[in-house]
Amino acid sequence: MKQPAEQTAVTEEKVQSPALKNMKDLVKKFKRNKPAVVGFYFIVILLLIAIIVTVLDRMFGVIVTPHHPNDINLIDRFTGPTAEYWFGTDHMGRDIFARIIYGMIYTLGIGFASVIMGALVGVPLGIVAGYYGGRIDNIIMRIVDVLLAFPGILLALAIVSILGGSLVNVTIAVAIYSIPGFARIVRGSTLATKKLEYIDAIRALGASDFRIIFRHILPNVLSPIIVNATLYIATAILTAAGLSFLGMGAQPPLPEWGAMLNDGRSFLRDAGHIALFPGLAILTVVLAFNIFGDGLRDALDPKLKN
Amino acid sequence: MNRKNKELLSVENLKQYFPIKGGIFGRTVNNVKAVDDVSFTVYEGETVSIVGESGCGKSTTGRAILRLDTPTSGKVEFDGVDLVSLNKKQMRKMRKDMQIIFQDPYASLNPRQTVRQILNEAMEIQNVVPKSDRDDRIAELMKTVGLQPFQADRFPHEFSGGQRQRIGIARALSVDPKLIICDEAVSALDVSIQAQVLNLLQRFQREMNLTYLFISHDLGVVRHISDRIIVMYLGKIVEIGDKESIFENPQHPYTKALLSAIPVPDPEIKKERILLQGDIPSPIDPPTGCRFHTRCPFATDKCKEELPVLESLSHMTEGHEAACHYAKEIETGEHKPTKDITKVR
């Protein structure tokens, strides 16, 4: 008679992975932070627009905006915002609205690509430094300290002047500049994680360092990595725009926002809108990433329960 | 128990110092002498307990034996192989024969893995069971430690503390070890659960001929499970002997003080309680001579200068050794305490 009772007990309990449960908790906590949710949706919408317009342009040759971003229309140059040119035109009569829409892919692309590249280098460095400690830790972290000692834009500038100005090189420069942040954060989390008893248990079983690092430590340091990455995208976009503004990044006629800002610089007094709209675009995207990143950090922080 | 059995583990002059770094260049300015020159032998099939108060180096000894921390110096011979001289890869193979059960059943299991994944990984690392048989082995292990096989797909947080400790034990057993180090394995559990887990451990010892090195501060538990006992104080062994000798005929003043602290569950019985003065000194700069002299009621100038060695005296049983200059004199009553330290409760 004992058997059926046990059976019901089994079916009642639903096994829920703690990873899945944490994910649900995270979403719930994140949703309470309204600005962060707005930031998140804003980023998603921008990403979708950027990808869709680029795909349509490159694969089908379809331009969704009223004007082609690179069409020069000298008659209409320096036009302020009108019904035809929503954000006005620049000194060559190009539609600023179209250029911002088509430039979005470069700005977001640099942001994501550089942060991913930086994480791919910085995270392993940080884990190795934290896990092995001692001399290896010292060597890695001192190199990272040297990188960190340079002001970001200066470092990126130096790298770009060595590699030459292009979109790819800007991405590499910003990636290098984001390595120290990842390495430091990951090292700290690794130091905390490797002290846990279950890491000792798995070591006592004879697990290799490789297995311990990838199976047991990496999943535990993932959340600070994600938060850091989100916040770094904003910085990366800003740095990339700065480099383009200085003429070291995207080359004309690419509608990169930083480069557009630079175009408008000479006409600030007479036609401020040329610089204003790319500037506003950079501001909103960076702000969205920052608010989203902050919200994500708060949601992932176990100390902030409510 | 039986001295005729073969030696399984022999620890010789084991030292575990943790450097304290200081200064601009991170030089080693001093050492925490957590374990300082400890030697003992564990025979196959017996249970040896290490007791002592917090910070005396008992857990560090266990970790050094397993090379979870690399010992500063000394020899750890397991089954005839010196573990300290092995390289990482050779050591990984040796780990199959020696396992550890930790104190905290909440911290010793990865919260992101199911019990099945935990046990499976243990077997995968040492490759003890062919892949196709692992599920059967997991079910068998679960039953052995008193859990249901269907519970294997649950996560650690769905179990109680005692159940988790059973999972920890199942993990240790999954690789068929010869020696299990129980590092305060039952200290975090309720008394009733403690008894269950201890009985489980004793059953496995009989069935699988396991050897235990049982690290604990709980003398009641130690009395229940041990064959032999090692008493440690500030990184050194002060007394070693079989259970009866230690409990019935303690020789070292520290052991006596420790034993007098065992509560007796009878309010009618008046017990002499030896109260030690002061705190345990810092292991960074331990006292010279006998390390216990700062708190010992019998201490003389000799104790401050000369380090006593472990020795067996005529009134002690074979294998019972104590490190005290005045063991004999105290026993015969020739050497009186310099201060009154007893208190009748």
How confident is residue A1, by pLDDT bands cut at 50, 70 and 90?
Answer: very low
Decide if A206 touches B, using CB distance below 8 A.
yes
Confidence (pLDDT) at B341: 59
Percent share of chain B, pLDDT over 70: 96
Distance of CA B315 to CAs A196, B247, B311, B329, B331, Å?
46, 15, 12, 11, 9
SS3 state of residue A301:
coil
In sequence order, what DSSP letters do the residues of A13-51 get, joined into one string?
A: SPP--HHHHHHHHHHHHHHT-HHHHHHHHHHHHHHHHHH
Helices (H), A150-217: 152-163, 167-194, 197-204, 209-211
Question: Is A23 in the B-facing interface, judged by CB distances under 8 Å?
Answer: no
Fold of B1-112+171-233: Rossmann fold (3.40.50)
From first CA to last CA, the distance across chain A in angstroms is 46
Q: Shortest CB distance from A206 goes to which of B92, B155, B171?
A: B92
Q: What is the ipTM of this complex?
A: 0.85
Contacts with B92 from chain A: Cβ below 8 Å: 206-208
Other beta carbons less than 10 A from residue A78's beta carbon: 15
Shortest alpha-carbon distance between residue B100 and chain A (Å): 7
- Name every residue whose Cβ is closer than 8 Å to that of residue B290 and which is 6 or more positions away in sequence: B296, B299, B303, B304, B306, B307, B308, B323, B324, B325
Rounded to the nearest angstrom, the minimum Cα separation between B125 and chain A is: 6
Contact B171 A201 (CB under 8 A): yes
CB contact A204 to B (< 8 Å):
yes
Please name the residue of chain A whose CA is at the shortest distance from the CA of residue B109: A198
Q: Are B329 and B253 in contact (CB under 8 A)?
A: no
Min distance A116 CA to chain B CA atoms (Å)? 25
Confidence of residue A305 (pLDDT cuts 50, 70, 90): low
**Mean pLDDT, to the nearest integer, of B210-233?**
92
Task: Domain A33-69+89-300: give its CATH code.
Answer: 1.10.3720.10
| A91-145 pLDDT tens trace | 888 899 999 999 999 989 999 999 999 999 999 999 999 999 889 999 999 999 9
Question: If phi over 0 gives left and psi between -120 and 50 gives alpha, with beta otherwise, what is residue A156?
Answer: alpha
**pLDDT value for A10:** 45
Q: Which residues of B touch A219 (CB under 8 A)?
A: 112
Encode A219-249: b = buried (16+ Cβ within 10 Å), e = exposed: ebbebbbebbbbbbbbbbbbbbbbbbbbebb
pLDDT mean over B67-76: 91
Domain boundaries, chain A: 33-69+89-300
B117-143: pLDDT as tens digits: 999 999 999 888 888 899 999 999 999
- Averaged pLDDT for residues B310-315: 85
Residue among B7, B16, B12 at smallest CA distance from B76: B12
- Quote the pLDDT of residue A2: 45
Q: With a cut of 70, say whether residue B226 has pLDDT above it.
A: yes
| Amino acid symbol at B177 | P
pLDDT for the residue A160: 87
| Cis amide linkage into residue A151, ω under 30° from 0 | no
Residue A5, pLDDT score: 45
Closest residue of chain B to A195, computed from CA coordinates: B107
Query: What is chain B's length?
Result: 345
Average pLDDT over residues A135-164: 88
- Per-residue pLDDT band at A290 (split at 50, 70, 90): very high
Which strand ranges, in their side-by-side order, compose the sheet holding B81-82? B27-43, B7-22, B73-78, B81-82
Q: Distance between alpha carbon B190 and the CA centroid of its chain, in Å?
A: 20
Per-domain residue ranges of chain B: 1-112+171-233, 249-345
Reported as a single tens digit per residue, the pLDDT across A258-274 is 888 888 888 888 888 88
- The pLDDT value recorded for residue A126 is 95
Nearest-CB residue to A206 (from B95, B111, B168): B95
| Average confidence (pLDDT) over B146-171 | 90
A210 interface with B at CB cutoff 8 Å: no
Whether residue A5 lies within 8 A of chain B, CB to CB, comes out as no
Which amino acid, B239?
A: E
In this structure, the number of other CB atoms found within 10 A of the CB of residue B102 comes to: 24
Q: How far apart are alpha carbons B62 and B34 in whole angstroms?
A: 12
Q: Please state the pTM of the whole predicted model.
A: 0.80
CA separation for the pair B179, A123 (Å, rounded): 38
Closest CA to B81 of B179, B181, B214: B179
Cα–Cα dist B159/A125, whole Å = 36
Both tokens assigned to B48: 């040896």
Partner-chain residue, chosen from A15, A19, A202, that has the shortest CB–CB distance to B112: A19
The residue among B88, B113, B118, B164 with the most chain A CBs within 10 A of its CB, best to mutate, is: B113
Asked if residues A180 and A147 have their Cβ atoms less than 8 Å apart, the reply is yes
Whether the Cβ atoms of residue A262 and residue A245 lie closer than 8 Å to each other:
yes
pLDDT at A19 over 80: no
B292-302 pLDDT per residue, tens: 988 888 888 88
Rounded CA-CA distance A174/A171 in Å is: 5
Residue pointed to by tokens 């159940």? B163
Q: What is the model's pLDDT at position A7?
A: 47
Chain B residue closest to A220 (CA)? B112
Residues B239-248: pLDDT tens digits? 999 999 999 9
Q: Half-sphere exposure of B72 toward its Cβ, with a 13 Å CA cutoff? A: 17
- Do the Cβ atoms of A204 and B155 come within 8 Å? no
With an 8 Å Cβ cutoff, are B99 and A19 in contact? no
> Residue A53: left if φ>0, alpha if ψ -120 to 50, beta else—which one?
alpha
Contact B157 A203 (CB under 8 A): no
